[in-house]
């Protein structure tokens, strides 16, 4: 299903289902006499955003360290690779949901409710901002403790009354701090309205992907050398990620500007190899861009799996990318990453790790948020067009000089 179809389902079916679920859960509490279970098995719910799995890592580590709980995760099947990068969840603790059709979505959702009861899940943490699908999964998971973001007096985005711990989403702090606030709600000694009345310091925002082993690194190097001449002892490789997901095409910087940037970098740095990354569906565009930029530019789009990205990042000097999942993967792997922002703001979504943002800061930007389900009325992304090649070129050279110095 495409993004707009999923949004319509979430709105048209989600609102009445959330209302019905609220009544059912209220009746369940009315007639339930069982004791509340201690907090031992925490399920995290994040379906659609690959980058959020990385941004949620500080919150998930805090849950494991402070609460001593066993962690579980539910995610769309197409995005499970992003979770695998963290190496924090054994396969038996991960449930995947297919989103390619409404029938698969409904069937897997029902299977999920059986799975949570078999696993004995006692706590659910809904990492999504205001998705009604995840609200329903959270409400019906059979958990005693249910934590998520709640609208309070904000207009719109009704998700029912299914949470035991209602956290106020704060649009003025980084999303990772908002996710940590969900765990702080579980740590609170007394009830709060709203949760969480805590100070979350920048020192909590750390994430690090596991280092690739030498075999994986050697295999990746061999793959690159079959496509281009590259000796990491004498050359530097810069990664270019020119696309973003279909979730928000307004985040894309223009392909011709990426091509110009690559040509200028290769002309200035004779020791540089440029590698264009992307998903299998982006192969044609990536290969066309590589052909425009000469023999020291190659396309890796469709040639690397998510699980192989840490090995690729270990061979690179830096990455230039739109605001997308790979920006979070690269920075979390320790690769210096330059991220071009437009419809979103780096104040909320800058990657954790060695990253730098370029953001024009137009009066209309950011135009997408949790409040509008990331659906913008914009048909002309001037916020990305305002980012000039000269500005990106200068930032790349500065970051390369700092890394080599």
Tell me how many degrees the CA angle 63-67-70 measures, rounded to the nearest 5: 70
pLDDT at 45 (0 to 100): 96
> How far, CA to CA in Å, does 132 sit from each of 151, 157, 195, 317, 380?
12, 8, 20, 41, 29
Find, among 220, 209, 232, the residue nearest to 317 by Cα. 232
Find, among 142, 151, 207, the residue nearest to 180 by Cα. 207
pLDDT at 130 (0 to 100): 79
The Cα 304–Cα 308 span in angstroms is: 6
- The residue ranges of every structural domain in the chain are 3-204, 214-404
pLDDT at 91 (0 to 100): 93
What's the Rg (C-alpha) of the chain? 22
What pLDDT digit, counting tens, does each position of 291-336 carry?
A: 999 999 999 998 888 889 999 999 999 999 999 889 999 999 999 9
pLDDT at 20 (0 to 100): 87
Reduced to 3 states (helix: H, G, I; strand: E, B; else coil), residue 126 is strand
- Helices 3-12 and 14-31 pack at an angle, to 10 degrees, of 50
What pLDDT digit, counting tens, does each position of 45-64 carry?
A: 999 888 889 999 999 999 99
The predicted model scores a pTM of 0.92
The Cα 337–Cα 34 span in angstroms is: 51
- Helices 102-119 and 132-139 pack at an angle, to 10 degrees, of 30
What pLDDT digit, counting tens, does each position of 128-171 carry?
A: 987 888 999 999 999 999 999 998 988 767 888 999 999 999 99
pLDDT at 3 (0 to 100): 64
The Cα 68–Cα 59 span in angstroms is: 13
Strand order in the sheet with 272-276: 297-299, 272-276, 236-241, 318-322, 337-341, 355-359
Query: Residue 288 CB: number of other CB atoms within 10 A?
Result: 13
CATH class of segment(s) 214-404: alpha beta
Q: What's the whole-number average pLDDT of the chain? A: 90
Cis peptide, bond prior to residue 366, ω within 30 of zero: yes
* In this structure, CATH architecture of domain 3-204: 3-Layer(aba) Sandwich (3.40)
What lies within 8 Å, CB to CB, of 221 at 6+ separation is: 230, 232, 315
Cα torsion angle, 305, 310, 313, 314, sign: negative
Q: Which residues of the chain have pLDDT under 50?
A: none
pLDDT at 246 (0 to 100): 63
Residue found under tokens 């609170």: 188
- Exposed (0-12), middle (13-18) or buried (19+): which is 13, by Cβ within 10 Å? middle
The Cα 143–Cα 123 span in angstroms is: 5
Which DSSP helix (H) or strand (E) runs through 176?
Answer: helix 175-187
> How far, CA to CA in Å, does 92 sit from each of 30, 115, 269?
33, 10, 47
The count of C-alpha atoms lying within 13 angstroms of the C-alpha of 127, restricted to the half-sphere facing its C-beta, is 28
Fold match, 3-204 / 214-404: yes
pLDDT at 170 (0 to 100): 93
């Amino acid at each position: 299903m495409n993004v707009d179809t999923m949004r319509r389902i979430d709105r048209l079916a989600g609102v009445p289902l959330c209302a019905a679920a609220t009544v059912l859960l209220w009746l369940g509490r009315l007639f339930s006499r069982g004791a509340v279970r201690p907090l031992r098995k925490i399920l995290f719910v994040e379906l659609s955003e690959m980058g959020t799995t990385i941004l949620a890592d500080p919150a998930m580590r805090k849950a494991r360290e402070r609460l001593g709980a066993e962690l579980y995760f539910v995610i769309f099947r197409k995005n499970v690779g992003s979770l695998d990068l963290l190496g924090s969840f054994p396969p038996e603790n991960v449930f995947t949901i297919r989103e390619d059709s409404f029938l698969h979505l409904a069937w897997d959702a029902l299977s999920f409710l059986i799975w949570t009861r078999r696993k004995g899940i006692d706590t659910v943490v809904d990492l999504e901002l205001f998705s009604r699908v995840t609200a329903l999964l959270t409400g019906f998971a059979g958990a005693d403790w249910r934590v998520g973001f709640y609208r309070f007096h904000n207009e719109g985005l009704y998700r029912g009354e299914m949470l035991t711990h209602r956290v106020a989403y704060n649009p003025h702090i980084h999303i990772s701090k908002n996710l940590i606030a969900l765990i702080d709600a579980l740590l609170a000694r007394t009830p709060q309205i709203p949760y969480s009345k805590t100070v979350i310091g920048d020192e909590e925002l750390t994430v690090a992907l596991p280092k690739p082993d030498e075999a994986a690194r050697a295999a990746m190097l061999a793959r690159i050398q079959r496509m281009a001449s590259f000796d990491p002892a004498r050359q530097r490789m810069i990664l270019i990620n020119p696309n973003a997901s279909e979730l928000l095409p307004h985040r894309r910087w223009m392909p011709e500007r990426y091509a110009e940037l690559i040509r200028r970098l290769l002309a200035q740095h004779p020791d540089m190899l440029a590698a264009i990354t992307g998903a299998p569906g982006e192969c044609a565009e990536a290969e066309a861009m590589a052909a425009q930029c000469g023999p020291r530019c190659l396309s890796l789009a469709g040639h690397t799996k998510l699980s192989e990205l840490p090995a690729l990042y270990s061979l690179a000097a830096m990455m230039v990318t739109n605001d997308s999942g790979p920006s979070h993967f690269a920075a979390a792997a320790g690769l210096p990453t330059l991220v071009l922002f437009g419809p979103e703001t780096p104040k909320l979504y800058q990657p954790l790790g060695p990253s730098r943002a370029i953001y024009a800061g137009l009066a209309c930007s950011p135009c997408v948020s949790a409040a509008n389900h990331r659906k913008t009325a914009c048909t002309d992304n001037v916020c990305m067009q305002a980012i000039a090649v000269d500005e990106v070129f200068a930032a790349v050279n500065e970051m390369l000089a700092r890394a080599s110095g």
